[in-house]
Amino acid sequence: MAKIVRKKAPIAEELPDGLDKVDLAIVRELLADSRRTLQQIGEAVKLSPTTCWSRIKRLEAEGVITKYTVELDRARIGYHDTVIVQLTLDSHTDQALYQFGRALAEIPEVLDAYLVSGEYDYFIRIAVKDTRDYERLLREKLYKIPGIRHSKSNFVLRVLKDARVPLA
């Protein structure tokens, strides 16, 4: 009896719902430099500026593009160190988590805060000028938030990768 061998169809690159390769190419161009002109973006993705503008407006309307911003060199404005803080709270009620989140949002040095699973409840990324500034932030701001049971801090020695979205 002859064995039937079926060839598998090549797996298509998975794209997010509603986006095509051209949309992603436009987003990549904007991520690289959101000040580029429609002419420059169009040349890069092989579309007319008008078509690029229409696609960008659609991506904004759909919430894919949420804002345009600048990226600062933190060291050039005095924030030379980054600290990763792992925190555990005493209570995990909805109210406690909400209040803690609101308190973190009021601290400008807090860059990112993640509620996580595992040994700690939060991973928080903080920008500070130096170790003295971090000590000040702990005493004057972070440890004044009620409900912190335990914390552990790690100073970042070197950033190996810093990307906002996983687009290749």
pLDDT in tens, 44-95: 999 999 999 999 999 999 999 999 988 899 999 999 999 999 999 999 999 9
Residue 145: per-residue pLDDT: 96
Residue 11: per-residue pLDDT: 41
Indicate the pairing of strand 110-115 with strand 148-155: unpaired
Q: Which residues contact 151 (CB under 8 A, 6 or more apart)?
A: 85, 86, 87, 88, 142
Please tell me the pTM assigned to this model.
0.78
pLDDT band, very low/low/confident/very high, at 1 (cuts 50, 70, 90): low
| Of 138, 84, 78, nearest in space to 113 by CA | 84
Which tens digit of pLDDT belongs to each residue from 7-46?
444 444 566 677 899 999 999 999 999 999 999 999 999 9
3-state secondary structure of 112: strand
What six digits make up the tokens of 12?
């298509």
